[in-house]
Amino acid sequence: MLKDEGSMTGHPYRTILTERTETGVAIVTLNRPEVLNAFNEAMRADFARLWTEVREDPSVKAVVLRAAGDKAFSTGLDVTERTGNSDSPWLDKDAPWDEKEDPGHQLSPKRNGVWKPVVAAVQGMCAGGAFYWITECDIVVCSPEATFFDPHVTYGMVAALEPIALSYRMHFSETLRMALLGLYERMTAETAKSAGLVTEIVPRDELHDHALKLAEAIASQPAAAVQGTVKAMWQSLDRTRAQALDTALMYTQVGNPLGAEGLDRKSAKPAKWWTR
């Protein structure tokens, strides 16, 4: 059963909707369907606040990230909102090589220190800056008509931030093909699955319920074990194999006693398991 519909703290967000379940899952919905859920400054601010709240609220065990409307999960940056003397609100033409903030920093759960698992449910188009979310979700499921592409090069822009993040998620050759072909090709759901970007293709009318089911299953398990697993796996990407294994040992030494404390192993097992 859902509760606290509309906002996690009672202060409404401007561009996203939030719901809470009694099973410890926060459901976050991108809510700009009129512009294909493209993100703007208001959405960046909403997500900066959201990830802080998710990180600091112990009652939130997992997150489902989804989008309103049928046409798109998100098409990335809303290019209709521009400031200054450039087509990009993050470029100063007078000092183009000064260090600037990555425009997607606030959107990404792991870059905001969120080690609670995030399950993404993708329908329609998923393009460009939308990968700030997708590449940092722990499980991504999509509907059969979902498509994935990166339009940067076609529009004369370097495709770098999103493809680099994608290259940790799916095959390098597929990532480079997507980046270089731009708007000339869209990756299908089936190709995204074979490339490792998504784990499962779910009928559109079942997509959101299925994502919630996955998140609730994860949330039902000891939080210390779940979050330690998420953190160890993601941080291993930035380390050599030996360093990752040394760090992982620390997580098991700390997280295992906490996660298993007082746990009835027999009752912890699900009555029925899934296959796929």
pLDDT digits (tens, 9 = 90+) for 103-148: 788 999 999 999 999 999 999 999 999 999 999 999 999 999 999 9
The position carrying tokens 């296959």 is 275
> What does the DSSP assignment read for 154-218?
GGT----HHHHHHHTTS-HHHHHHHHHHGGG--EEHHHHHHHTS-SEE--GGGHHHHHHHHHHHH
How far apart, in whole angstroms, are the C-alpha atoms of residue 146 and residue 134?
13
How far apart, in whole angstroms, are the C-alpha atoms of residue 8 and residue 48?
13
- Tens digits of per-residue pLDDT, 151-198? 999 999 899 999 999 999 999 999 999 999 999 999 999 999 999 999
pTM of the model: 0.88
Is residue 25 within 8 Å of residue 54, measured between CB atoms?
A: no
End-to-end CA distance of the chain: 27
Q: What percent of the chain has pLDDT over 90?
A: 71
Angle in degrees, 0-180, between the axes of helices 241-260 and 223-236, rounded to the nearest 10: 170
How far apart, in whole angstroms, are the C-alpha atoms of residue 168 and residue 174?
11
SS3 of 247, please? Answer: helix
* Alpha-carbon Rg for the chain in angstroms: 19
CB under 8 Å to 179, separation ≥6 — which residues? 150, 152, 153, 159, 162, 163
- Tens digits of per-residue pLDDT, 12-50? 899 999 999 999 999 999 999 999 999 999 999 999 999
At 100, the pLDDT band (50, 70, 90 cuts) reads low
Residue 230: CB atoms within 10 Å:
20
How far apart, in whole angstroms, are the C-alpha atoms of residue 183 and residue 76?
14
Bridge partner residues of 25 (DSSP): 62
Predicted local distance difference test score (pLDDT) of residue 245: 86
Predicted local distance difference test score (pLDDT) of residue 8: 57
One-letter amino acid for residue 126 of the chain: C
- Tens digits of per-residue pLDDT, 54-96? 999 999 999 999 999 999 999 999 988 754 445 555 556 676 6
pLDDT, greater one: 260 or 157:
157
How far apart, in whole angstroms, are the C-alpha atoms of residue 244 and residue 238?
8
pLDDT at 255 > cutoff 80: no
Predicted local distance difference test score (pLDDT) of residue 3: 46
